[in-house]
Amino acid sequence: GEKAVPGGNDVLVEFEDGIAWVYLNRPEKRNAMSVDLAREMNVVLDALEIDDRCGVIVLTGAGEAFSAGMDLQGFFRTTDAITDVERHRAYRETRAWQWRTLMHYAKPTIAMVNGWCFGGAFTPLICCDLAIADKDAVFGLSEINWGIIPGGVVSKAISTLMGDREALYYVMTGEKFDGTRAAEVGLVNQAVPAEELKDRTRELAKNLLEKNPTVLRQARMAYKYAREMNWEQAAEYLTAKGDQTTFVDTEKGRDKGLTQFLDEKTFKPGLGNYER
């Protein structure tokens, strides 16, 4: 793994054939997320967005944890001890990468949940486009267990993927659950045995790397914004977004697709990609 930021060691990046494997890298602290880690992750994600070695990001954890949530020392105690303005800045830096940047990232993102996933770790998990988990990974909204509410934007994030009964059940009980259950409740796409986790994730990443990257970016954004709109707004926005996609697509995918299906009869859109 490469040190992504000079002097920093909380985030590691490995490049492999268009995939950037981004590791939360505090295994001895179960990848608990501190303010320092947030600062480093913001630099890393900002750099990878325009790095040609990265076509897809996989966010995962070094060692046995995905992430044990916010760092009770390096996030909670640390921000209790500073001024309100400094605290506001620390929260902003955490929200930046966990939510805003990942949610609106220019490249596709996959969370690979390799182990413990608690509390604040649900935010980056949910803000990645897709997620694959070890079926034995352990998830939990453990906030209630130590006397806080699922804050940050965790409560909002879970409401976008989980049904109210399931979300409130785990918010209120703090009960842990495994990767198989995480797939059932819609938090991850799929749960697989530990030994298949990296291969399955790589296979999914490679599938995405074969797509027209401009159209893939626009399709992800269109979905994420349209779900917040009413039907009238969504129809208008999606029509405009479709036109914009054709305009910004340097590959001219739509023209190629039409020609290859209608004129050349060399491919069927229902069955695979056009020839790029």
Nearer to ligand ACO, 20 or 24 (CB): 24
Answer yes or no whether residue 73 interacts with ligand ACO by CB under 6 A: yes
Residue from 69, 124, 179, 253 that binds ligand ACO (CB under 6 A)?
69
For 37-53, give one letter per residue: b (16+ CB within 10 A) or e: bbbbbbebbeebeeeee
For residue 27 the two structure tokens come to 């295994």
Answer yes or no whether residue 173 interacts with ligand ACO by CB under 6 A: no
List the alpha helices (DSSP H) in the chain. Answer: 35-48, 78-80, 84-95, 102-103, 122-127, 154-161, 164-173, 179-184, 197-209, 213-226, 231-248, 253-258
Residue from 23, 116, 139, 274 that binds ligand ACO (CB under 6 A)?
116
| Closest C-alpha to 25, from 53, 67, 88, 81 | 67
Residue nearest to ligand ACO (CB): 119
Answer yes or no whether residue 244 interacts with ligand ACO by CB under 6 A: no
For residue 17 the two structure tokens come to 């054939």
For ligand ACO, the binding residues in 5-64 under the rule CB under 6 A are 29-30, 32
Residue from 5, 12, 72, 219 that binds ligand ACO (CB under 6 A)?
72
Distance CA 257, CA 270 (A): 11
Region from 10-18, 91-99, 113-121, 220-228 binding ligand ACO, contact rule CB under 6 A: 113-121
Residue from 108, 120, 124, 179 that binds ligand ACO (CB under 6 A)?
120
Count the residues of the shown chain that bind ligand ACO, applying the rule CB under 6 A: 15
| Closest C-alpha to 78, from 87, 89, 68 | 87
Q: Which residues bind ligand ACO (CB under 6 A)?
A: 29-30, 32, 68-73, 116, 118-120, 142-143
